[in-house]
A = this chain, B = another copy of it.
Amino acid sequence: MFTPSRIKHCRVCGTEVAWRVPPGDNRDRAVCPACGEIHYENPINVVGTVPVWDESVLLCRRNIEPRYGLWTLPAGFLELGESTAEGALRETDEEAGAHIELQGLFTVLDVVRARQVHLFYRASMLDTHLAPGPETIEARLFREHEVPWDELAFRTVRMTLEHFFADRRAGAFGVHVGHVA
């Protein structure tokens, strides 16, 4: 899946960009022929949590595209001015209104074709109060056998949940690195 760049004009001066390899670089960038600005494009981070209460994990049913109506762990794009942990906490608040305490980093999953890296932290829910935000149709707790495996929104959510239940059975949580092909 090749995603064409959306960069047609210079962000600094508005001139139409040219694609070329800047001096000292080794790949094509959108370069401004007027002011010289180089526009780099890089993968961005999606940060989220695996919120746990007793035997259950918290999932949110998406009220937005893509994957409207499917279930996800609370997650979203890391913003400027926050750490990956802070972003994961914020997304869990925004999407589920859940009160959590972060545990360790749990999965780091490359999603190369989507130009993303997904990072999930384990989290303990402090209570069962939930207040889903506008991006969520409903948020609820699922025991392992209740997880809607065929209605999960993203493969990284599936992978993270699979690692979670496997590690819980094994009695020890690691940090799992992987990728979506």
Given contacts A39-B11, A40-B77, contact A112 B134 (CB under 8 A): no
What number of A residues sit within 8 Å (CB to CB) of B? 47
Contacts of A7 on B, CB cut-off 8 Å?
11
Chain B, residue nearest A111 (CB): B83
The reply to whether the CB of A22 lies closer than 8 angstroms to some CB of chain B is: no
Number of copies: 2
Contacts of A135 on B, CB cut-off 8 Å?
24
Q: A9-B14, A42-B78, A82-B112 are in contact. List 13 more A-B contacts (CB 8 A).
A: A8-B14, A11-B11, A42-B44, A42-B77, A42-B80, A43-B80, A80-B115, A81-B112, A84-B108, A84-B110, A105-B108, A108-B108, A174-B175
Chain A residues close to B by CB (< 8 Å): 6-16, 24, 26-27, 37, 39-45, 64, 77-85, 94, 104-105, 108, 110, 112, 115, 117, 119, 134-135, 174-175, 177, 179
